[in-house]
Amino acid sequence: MPTIHESPEPQGFGGRCPPHKSCILFNCRVNIKWRFVLTHDAIAPADKDGVRFVDFMAALSQLQPLSLDQFKVVRLIATDMDGTLTQHGKFTPALLQVLTELAANGIQVLIVTGRSAGWVNGIVSYLPVVGAIAENGGLFYQASGGEELLVPIFDLVEHRQQLAEMFGGLQAEFPQIQESSDNRFRITDWTFDVQGLSLEDLQQMHDRCQSAGWDFTYSTVQCHIKPLHQEKAIGLSQVLNQYFPDLTPEQIVTVGDSPNDESLFAGDRFPLAVGVANVLHYVDRLAHKPAYVTQASEVAGFCELAQLILKAFHSSSRSG
Ligand SMILES: [Mg+2]
């Protein structure tokens, strides 16, 4: 993969990404604290969408690499799924192994995803996790079989009709949008595929939904029309308060990779917020940025974090 290298100048940064001439970064002078190897993959979206490189680097400089000391007392990992527990959209043997290892050591994993109630209800019974929150904070499924609606919806049939009307309104303006294949398995929100939509399109859709009294978010795979105040952090806080009341914020790590994880990165709620490296695609657009970022992308980044937490756990057990 093409990489961009530090220039010999102490405060400078320069490089060229051969396949993409638009990624010329010579003469950008920024104060770089970051030792991460920047790949073209990380830079290209910022460049393509016209975001200034200096803004990108300023956002990047706020992130910290993982370190052992902060993760010694972690007892629960609340993690996004797509792009965070997957590699090119699939679970991997390394993921199953590390989840098993975490569970064996009493470190609980709770999935917090935008995926549908139907999918999550199935996934939670197959993976070694304690539970999963579906639809960006809409519902909670326990591994032991319980389920709970996390948002106040009084008539689910009427709710879905209203969501369908909002989607129809967007489709009239953006005829290319198609309902996601998992939309039929949803209860609280309505989804369509994000592929082919520009940031400008997404911003317009966001504005349309807001003015009609709905919220809107998107991930690497889908766009979501959802009730106002339905977000991952609100759902997670409800679940933590109800099912894990003894855990302190320092014992909880949140992990994600994209804009629908933004609320999980809010440092006042979740001080141990981690982005896997592919979060760099969006880092200059997030109001809340993760405190830490892994070196590896997608599930390899999650495994990097999990191994660090296990190492920290064992080192504190030995010293304790
Ligand atoms: Mg994701």
Report pLDDT digits (tens) over 259-273. 889 999 998 999 999
| Interval between CA 87 and ligand 1 midpoint (Å) | 11
Q: How many angstroms does the Cα of residue 40 sit away from the middle of ligand 1? A: 20
Taken as a whole, the chain contains a residue count of 320
Q: What's the whole-number mean pLDDT along residues 209-234?
A: 92
Distance from C-alpha of 232 to C-alpha of 226, rounded to nearest angstrom: 12
Ligand 1 centroid from CA 81, angstroms: 6
- The confidence score (pLDDT) of residue 56 equals 60
Q: Do domains 68-151+230-319 and 156-227 have the same CATH topology?
A: no
Tell me the pLDDT tens digit for each residue of 64-103. 777 778 888 999 999 999 999 999 999 999 999 999 999 9
- Each domain of the chain, given as residue ranges in start order, spans 3-61, 68-151+230-319, 156-227
Query: In sequence order, which residues have a C-beta less than 8 Å from that of residue 3 and are 6 or more positions away?
Result: 15, 37, 38, 39, 40
Find, among 262, 261, 293, the residue nearest to 278 by Cα.
293
Whether residue 296 contacts residue 83, with contact meaning beta carbons closer than 8 Å, is answered with no
Task: Please provide the CATH number assigned to the domain covering 68-151+230-319.
Answer: 3.40.50.1000
The Å distance, Cα 83 to ligand 1 centre, comes to: 5
Distance 278 CA to ligand 1 centre (A): 9
**CATH number attached to the domain at 156-227:** 3.90.1070.10
The pLDDT value recorded for residue 287 is 86
Q: How far is CA 17 from CA 46, 123, 208, 291, in A?
A: 14, 40, 37, 28
How many angstroms does the Cα of residue 156 sit away from the middle of ligand 1?
26
Structure pTM? Answer: 0.80
With 70 as the cut, is the pLDDT of residue 44 above it?
A: no
Tell how far the Cα of 90 is from the centroid of ligand 1, in angstroms.
12
Ligand 1 ion: Cβ-proximal residues, 5 Å cutoff:
80, 82-83, 219, 257-258
